[in-house]
Each structure stands twice: as C-alpha cells, then as structure tokens.
Structure 1
Amino acid sequence: MKRAEFPLEQRRGLYRAIYERRDIRLFRDDPVPPETLARIVRAAHHGPSVGFMQPWDFIMVSDVETRGRVKDLFVRERQAAAQFFDDARRDQYLSLKLEGILEAPVNLCITCDPVRGEEVLGRNSMPETDVYSTCCAVENLWLAARAEGVGVGWVSILKLPQLRRILGIPPHVVPVAYLCLGYPVEFPAAPVLQSTGWRDRLPLDELVHYDGWGKQPAQGYWEEVQEALGADVDPCNGD
C-alpha cells in the first residue's frame, strides 16, 4: 500500500514552522491583511477536537480602550507574580518583555465552551478534553501564523474573572489563550526564555518512557527509537 506522506519540500515546510515558531513580543506597525488573518483563524478552526466538539470561539480585539484594560490587568498580575521570586530572579523576570498587547495589530482571545454539544464521544472519562482540544486550535493557529510570517505571543499573566468581565465572556466559558498577532520585528533563532537563560529546553530522550513510567527500552525497535530521539538531526533526515 502506498504511504501517504507529503512530498519532502512540504514536510520541510511543516517542520520549519514547528521548529521556528516563537512566542513573539515585539511587533512592527504593519497591519495583517484580512485574508491572511482569515486563513490563520480558519486553520485554528480545523484543529482536532475530541468527539468533534469544536469548543472554541474567537474574540477579535482591536478597540484601544479594551486593550488598555487588558494591559492594565497584565501589569497588575505581573507585579503580583514578581513577589514569588528572589531578588535576582525578580529583576530578571521584570526585565523580560512578556506581551505586546498595545503594539500588536491584532489581539485575539480563544475560549472554550465546556457545554457545547449535548453528547460528546470520548469525553465521559476525561472531561478536560474540551480545554485540551482548544489548545490544539491554538497550536494550529500558531503554526499557520508562522508559515504566513506572522508572529504570535501568548499572554498568560491574566486573571480569568477580570478578563471575562473586560471581554464580556459568559461565566461558563473559559478564556484559554489571549494572543497578540502581528508581523514581528524578528523571529529569534531560539525562544527568548531560553536565550536569556531563564530556562533551557529539556532533553527529549530523558522525557520518553517505554511500556510504563520510568522504564527504559528493551532491545530492538524501542532502543532504536531512543537512540534517534537523542540525536541532533534534520527532522526530514533520510530523504
């Protein structure tokens, strides 16, 4: 049977979007063309969802006053979070640029409606799959944006009850991701939190278990997989 993989050039494009996706905080003034934004949001709407529940909604935000209220909320929460770090770590934390709420041409809040659909296949045992599914939509949006040359920044330092009030979100709906979108000043070569020394990327081969938590691979296929995971190779290597 013929395998269904994409041609090599298309696979390289996909992996490039994955590996070069960044959390963007610095944006240019250039507006995002409506058709480009539509393609990106459409990609999010095609994210996988358990039981095809499609629990997401997309709140587009351009109003300056509304963005200002979100920015004020961010500033308060950032100052509150800073108190949990020691002096050196606090200074580093406060020096980081962690949002582009006022600078980005587009703000977008992606929400999760946990009661959408009376019967959702596959959700009885894991009700949290509504939020998990919404995160898949976020990732689809992020990768599509990177392919379009558009940067995305996820602003997570926001209290949900206050964000609900600002955006008029119903009490039962969960704001999952508040995103800033726009053309970036640059796509950094590495994640900012990595390049600034805040945190390193963990070695993948140390995070994979085989046939149970903490178990090492038996000889054969799993052993070859472990060796491949520990190698620094081209994601399309072998073609």
Structure 2
Amino acid sequence: MTQHRYPDGDRAAVYRVIRERRDMRHFRRGAIDPAVLRRLLDAAHWAPSVGYMQPWRFIRITDPALRRAIHAQVRAECEATAEACGSRADEVRRLKLEGILECGELLVAALADGRENYVLGRRTLPEMDLCSVACAIQNLWLAARAEGLGMGWVSLFEPDELSRLLNLPEGARPVAVLCLGHVDTFYPEPMLETVGWDTRRAMDETVFENVWGQPLDLPTP
C-alpha cells in the first residue's frame, strides 16, 4: 500500500462520483448558489493541460435573450442531426438532447485563441488542446455531481454561428454548451442506454495489452 493513498472513505467517494456522473437533460428550475458555482469553476480551472497551456475559456450566459438565441441554434442543429441519422431520424427527434431553457446556469466552454503558440506536447498531436478543455469540463462535471447538481454537455450547434453570437476572437472556438442545475433525480444509467440508443461496452472491448486487440491480462474483480 502506497503512503500517498487516500483514506478508504475518500477513495470510495472518488470512485462513486465517477460512476454516478450523468449527462443530464432534465432540470428543475432554480438558481445555483454563487459560491457553489465559483467552486465548480475553480475545479474546472485545476484541470491538467498539455504543455500547461490552459486553453479553456468558460463564458457564463446570464442574458435571457442570449440563452434563447443559443437554444434556437441548438434546436436547429438537433433537426439537422436527425436528418443526418437517416433511418434513426425519428428516434433522434424523440430524444431530449438539451435543457438550455430549464437549467439554473448556462455555460459555454471554448478553446482560447493563440493556441498555435503552444508547441510542447502538441507538435504531432495539435488536438491535445481540445483534450485539455475536455479535462476541465470533466472536472466541473464531477464536482457538480459531488455538489448534488446535474450537468449536461450539449455539442449540437454550429461552431461558427455560436462564435459570432458570443463575439469570440478569431482563432477561438466553442466546444460545449453546458447546462448546469438542480435535478429531481439522477438517471440510474446513461439516458441513451435507457432509451436503447446504445449499450455500454465491456471493458475488455476497449482496453488491450501491448498491441491492439490483445486481451488485457488483469483479474476480474
């Protein structure tokens, strides 16, 4: 046992929040305590980033008209996505894919401009800037679940249109609309699994040893 190991209760809480995090779409109206929101954003800001570039920028949307405009963009993309899904179009239309008008707080996560100046860790993998933003979003997501708040990541929008709406500088790019708020209950499993869109893959299908496809040599708990 390593001397740096957390106490059993603390470790259990970490694994629990990872398991119980959900991509929420159903929210109960009501404001979020500003002190809690500050803690969540602070958690996001503690995320790791490749080359320590810290490329995340979060925009808090407090203007009701702007929230409605974002919602309109998302709804338009929901319909375009349904059309693109062909035979599953009606399934997509029946899904609740966002909670923009109901959630207590609406955030937009974006990639900062000037990312070309950061080369360390990105020379052959420039997309690591996006991975770094995703880490910040995951930090916020897990912290929200620990606070008893739901969060939903919405990626159904046209980036250039949202950039213009939010006056992003040239080179910046929105990557997520984040719905954050109180919920009546958390989904017992991912919503898309409940509705039969897809199922969770077994770990053996996604983790290999030494080369692609070779089974992992670890005992099953």
Task: Give the TM bin, normalised by the shorter chain.
Answer: over 0.9
* Partner-residue secondary structure (3-state), 1:73: helix
Deviation at 1:86, TM superposition (A): 4.1
Question: Which structure 2 residues correspond to residues 33-182 of structure 1 after superposition, within 5 A?
Answer: 33-87=33-87, 89-113=88-112, 115-116=114-115, 118-182=117-181
Structure 1 pair 14–68 and aligned structure 2 pair: CA distance change class (3 A): same
TM-score normalised per structure 1: 0.87
Structure 1 gap segments, 5+ residues each: 218-222, 232-239
* Partner-residue secondary structure (3-state), 1:122: coil
Deviation at 1:159, TM superposition (A): 0.4
Farther-moved stretch of structure 1 (14-23 vs 122-131): 122-131
Structure 2 gap segments, 5+ residues each: none
Match of 2:29 in 1: 29
**Contact 1:45 1:137 (8 Å CA) reproduced:** yes
Asked if 1:7 corresponds to 2:7, the answer is: yes
TM-score normalised per structure 2: 0.94
**Contact 1:53 1:120 (8 Å CA) reproduced:** no
Deviation at 1:11, TM superposition (A): 0.9
Deviation at 1:153, TM superposition (A): 0.7
| Cα deviation 1:136-178 (Å, max 9, x = unaligned) | 0000000000000111011111000111011111120011111
Q: Which has the larger radius of gyration?
A: 1
Partner Cα separation in structure 2 for residue 63 and residue 169 of structure 1 = 16
* Partner-residue secondary structure (3-state), 2:84: coil
Letter of the structure 2 residue corresponding to residue 63 of structure 1: D
Partner Cα separation in structure 2 for residue 114 and residue 3 of structure 1 = 41
Partner Cα separation in structure 2 for residue 180 and residue 94 of structure 1 = 19
Partner Cα separation in structure 2 for residue 194 and residue 181 of structure 1 = 21
Aligned pairs, number = 221
* Partner-residue secondary structure (3-state), 2:139: helix
Deviation at 1:92, TM superposition (A): 1.9
